[in-house]
Structure 1
Amino acid sequence: MNLRRFPDVEGPGLVAVDAADRLILDELPALPGPAPRARNEVAVIDDAYGALTLGLVGLIDGPGKIRVHQDLVTGERALAANAERNTTTGYHSMRWGPELFDGARLVVMRLPRSLDRLTEVSALIAARAAPDVVVVAGGRIKHMTPRMNDVLRDVFDRVDVSHARQKSRVLFARGPRTGAADRLLLEWPRTEFHPGLDLTIAAHGGVFAGTGVDIGTRLLLAHLARPAQNGLPDVETVVDLGCGNGTVSAWFGRAHPDVRIVAVDRSASAVDSTRVTAALNGVADRIEVAQSDGAQILPGATADLVLLNPPFHSDAAVSTAVALRLFAEAGRILKPGGELWCVWNSHLRYRGALQRIVGPTRQVVRNHKFTVTASTRR
C-alpha cells in the first residue's frame, strides 16, 4: 500500500506506517477461535494513518463495513486520503461512543501511550463488545509498560503477549468482564477542582494534562489576568487554538462574559473534554467547541485574539512543524491588528518564527522554562 501522513505534518522521521502496524496485521490470521463473520463485527481504534484499517479490509470478508474511530481528525483525513489513493473501501469512520463496539468480535488498536486513554477505551470495549471479542493491541516496545497489561486485566479475564519483532509487541485480551467495565466507565470523564483558578476541569483519557493545569498554561493565564498591565487588546472574538481540556476557554469565558470564544482541537477527546469543562463552569453558552485540523473551520481575518499553547512533538517524534503550522493558522484567522498570545518552551526560541509568520512579536514574560509572547497581525 502507498500510505502518507498528509494532511498531518510530514518530514524526516515521521512515518505513516511502522513495524507495530505490520506486526498487528501479521498476528491476525493466526488468532485462535472463531473469526469475525463480517466486516461490521470489526472495530479499529486510533489507527494512525490508515495502515490497520486498510490492511484489515483486505483480510476480512463478509457484509458491512469495518467501524473506525481515530481520536485525531488529521488521522481520519489521512485514512480517507490513503483509501482513495489505494482505491480501497469497506470501512466507515465513527464518533467515539458505545455503538463503535456493539456486537464487535474483533477490536484492533494501537496502544496509546496514556494509561488513562487505555483504561477508558478498554472499559468501553469490555462493556459493549460481543462476549467472544478478541482485542488485538500493539505498539512500539519503548512506549509500552507492564501497567498496560494490568489495565487490560482490570476488564478482561485473559491477557496474552506476542513475541517481540522489530522492537514491537502485541497484547491480546479476551473474556470481557462487563460488570467491572460498567463500574469503571462511571469515572469518565474525570474531573478535578482547582481552587487557585476556581475552575473544575474535566478530561477524557489521553487529553494533554488530564484534569490538571500545566505550568505553561498557568503562566499564560496569570498574565492574561492583568490585561491593562500587559497590553491585552479589547476583544470580541477569541479563538482557543488547541483547547485540550478546556482550561483556557473556561477561564477566559468566566473573566470576560461578553466575549465570544471558539475552542478548537484536532482531538475528539479534547473537544468532548472542553465541552464538559465549559458546562461545569457555567460558560457553555459562551463557548463554541469544534474539532478541527488547526483552525481550518474558521474563516480568515475574523478573530481579535488567538490563545495558543502549541505541542512540540508529532506522535513520538520531537518536531516544531506542528507549532509552525499553528502559527500560520493563527495568522490567517486574526484580523489586522489582532494578537496571538502564545506560551512555549523557552529553549525552542520561537520568537523569530512568530515575527516572520504572524507579525511583530513582544515578550510578555519569560522564565527558565516558558516564554509568553504577544504577536500582532500585520
Structure 2
Amino acid sequence: MPEFPYSRLRRWPDVEAENLQAHDATDRLLVDRAVALAAERKIDGAQIAVIGDEYGAITLALTDAGFPGIRVHQDLATGRRALARNAEELGVEGFVSHELDGGLLADARLVLLQLPKALAELEEIADAVARCAAPDAVLVAGGRVKHMTLAQNEVIGRSFAVVQPQRAERKSRLIVASEPREAPERPPFPVTAMHDGLTIVAHGGAFAGPRLDIGTRVLLEVLGLGGDAGSSSPRAENGTAPRGPVAADGGSRTVLDLGCGTGALAVSYARAHSDARVIATDRSAAAVASARATVEANGVADRVEVTHDDAASEVADASVDVVLLNPPFHLGTSVHTGAATRLFEASARVLRPGGELFTVFNSSLGYRAELGRLVGPTEQLHRTPKFTVTRSIRRP
C-alpha cells in the first residue's frame, strides 16, 4: 500500500506559512497505532471516532487505508473546511463529520484524539468518550512531547481506569486509555459563573472558560459596558471619549463580536443597547456552543445571533456598523500574529465606510500601524503595560 501523501495536505483557509504545517508526527503515530489496534481488535471504520484532527491528516489517512465510515469532530471551522478541501483534492471520501455528541461517539470502540491545549477541554472530551462510547472503547490520545504534562494523564484517569503513556517517538507521545469508568450523572461541562450581573456559560474548549478574561474586561470598561467605566471612562489620545456609532441610515446598529468566545462582549453590548442587532461569531464550535448558552442565560436571544464561521466569511461586505474584537495571538500551540491579521482584514471587509472597529490586544504586539493600514485611521483609547485598546474608522 503506498504511503498516504501527507505533504499534499493544506491548512487553507487557516493561515499558511513556511513554519506552519497541515500535519505532524503525532498524526502519523495516531494513524499507525489505529491501524494496528483495528487489526488486533477487529475494528472497522464505522467503529472509529477521530477528535481534534486539525486539517484532516488522521481522518483522510485512515479512510484512504481502507477504513470507511469514520466519524470525525473538529472544533474549528477552519479545520472543517480544510478537511473538506483536502478530501476533494486527494479524492478521498467516506467519512462523516459530527459535533462532540452521542452521534460522534455512540458504539465507538476506538477513539483517536489530538490532545487539546486546555485541560478543561480534555476533561470534557474524555468524559464524553467514557459516557457515550462502547464499553470496551479505547482512547488513544497523542501530542507533541514539549506540550504534554502529567496533568493530562490525571484528567484522562478520571474517565478511564487504565491510562498508559507510551514511549516517545519523533518528539511525539501517545497515551492509551482503556476500561471507561462509569460516568457521573451530570457531565462536568458546561459550567456557569456570574460577573457583576453577567452570566457566562462555558464548555471546556472555550477560551478563558467561565472567567471574564482581562482583555475583554478592559474593552468592556472602555466601551462603558462593565466595571466602573461609567464614572471614569478612558479617553482617546486627543482627549475625546469613545462615541456611540450609529447606523448609516440612522436606524438600528449592526454590531459584530468577531471571535466572540463565550459571548461576553456581544451580550454586554446587547444589554446596554436595546436598539442594536448583534452578531456573535467564532471559528470554535466550543465557543459557539458557550456563546449561545450565554446569550440564553442573559435573556438576549431575540437580539443576538451566534454563528460558527471563519473570519466572518458569512457576513456581507459593508454591512456592519461596529466590530468588537479581542484577537488571538496563537495558532494552536504556535505564537503567530497571522490569526489577528485575518480578523483585521475581515473587519475591514464587513464594516461600512465610517464604521468603527474597537480592538483590544497585548500592548507588546503593536498592532496600531497594521490596523491603520488594513482598516483606516486608528487612535489609541486606552493603554496599560498589558493591554491597549484602539478605535479604527473604516476608510471610504
For the superposition of Structure 1 and Structure 2, which TM-score range results when normalised by the shorter chain? over 0.9
Distance 1:316 1:151 in 2: 20
2:207 is aligned to 208
Distance 2:60 2:38 in 1: 22
1:230 is aligned to 242
1:110 is aligned to 114
C-alpha offsets along residues 289-342 of structure 1, whole Å, 9 cap, x if unaligned?
000001001100110000000011111111111111100100100011100000
1:55 is aligned to 61
69-78 or 95-104, which deviates more: 95-104
Distance 2:186 2:90 in 1: 40
Pick from 10, 13, 20: which aligns with 2:19?
Answer: 13
Distance 1:291 1:214 in 2: 21
SS in 2 for 1:229: coil
> Aligned AA for 2:301?
A
Pick from 239, 256, 272: which aligns with 1:239?
Answer: 256
SS in 1 for 2:107: coil
Normalised by the size of structure 1, how large is the TM-score?
0.95
Are 1:36 and 1:42, in contact at CA under 8 Å, matched by a contact in 2? no
**1:31 aligned to 2:37?**
yes
264-273 or 85-94, which deviates more: 85-94
Are 2:38 and 2:44, in contact at CA under 8 Å, matched by a contact in 1? no
Normalised by the size of structure 2, how large is the TM-score?
0.91
- Alpha-carbon shift at residue 38 of structure 1 (Å): 2.7
Moved over 4 A (4+): none
- Alpha-carbon shift at residue 32 of structure 1 (Å): 8.4
Distance 2:23 2:339 in 1: 19
1:353 is aligned to 370
152-161 or 43-52, which deviates more: 152-161
Are 1:36 and 1:60, in contact at CA under 8 Å, matched by a contact in 2? no
Are 1:309 and 1:344, in contact at CA under 8 Å, matched by a contact in 2? yes
Distance 1:33 1:145 in 2: 30
**1:80 aligned to 2:92?**
no
Give the length in aligned residue pairs.
371
**1:123 aligned to 2:106?**
no
**CA 1:32/1:72 → structure 2, altered by over 3 Å: closer, same or farther?**
closer
C-alpha offsets along residues 172-202 of structure 1, whole Å, 9 cap, x if unaligned?
1111123xx24351x311111112xx21111
SS in 1 for 2:185: helix
**CA 1:33/1:260 → structure 2, altered by over 3 Å: closer, same or farther?**
same
Distance 2:287 2:334 in 1: 21
Pick from 77, 99, 103: which aligns with 2:103?
Answer: 99
Are 2:257 and 2:324, in contact at CA under 8 Å, matched by a contact in 1? yes
Distance 1:160 1:108 in 2: 15
- Alpha-carbon shift at residue 139 of structure 1 (Å): 0.3
- Alpha-carbon shift at residue 33 of structure 1 (Å): 8.3
**1:309 aligned to 2:326?**
yes
C-alpha offsets along residues 98-142 of structure 1, whole Å, 9 cap, x if unaligned?
111001011111011111001001111111111111111100111
Are 2:53 and 2:74, in contact at CA under 8 Å, matched by a contact in 1? yes
Pick from 133, 136, 155: which aligns with 1:132?
Answer: 136
Structure 1 residues 283-322: aligned runs within 5 Å: 283-322=300-339
Are 1:36 and 1:106, in contact at CA under 8 Å, matched by a contact in 2? no
C-alpha offsets along residues 45-86 of structure 1, whole Å, 9 cap, x if unaligned?
01011111011113444xx61111100010011111111111
C-alpha offsets along residues 333-357 of structure 1, whole Å, 9 cap, x if unaligned?
0011100000011111111111110
- Alpha-carbon shift at residue 266 of structure 1 (Å): 0.3
**CA 1:176/1:110 → structure 2, altered by over 3 Å: closer, same or farther?**
same
- Alpha-carbon shift at residue 214 of structure 1 (Å): 1.1
Name the Cα RMSD after superposition: 1.6
Are 2:354 and 2:393, in contact at CA under 8 Å, matched by a contact in 1? yes
Structure 1 residues 177-196: aligned runs within 5 Å: 177-178=181-182, 181-183=183-185, 185=187, 187-195=188-196
Distance 2:190 2:370 in 1: 36
SS in 2 for 1:149: helix
> Aligned AA for 1:323?
A
2:236 is aligned to none
Distance 2:273 2:47 in 1: 48
SS in 2 for 1:183: coil
> Aligned AA for 1:230?
P
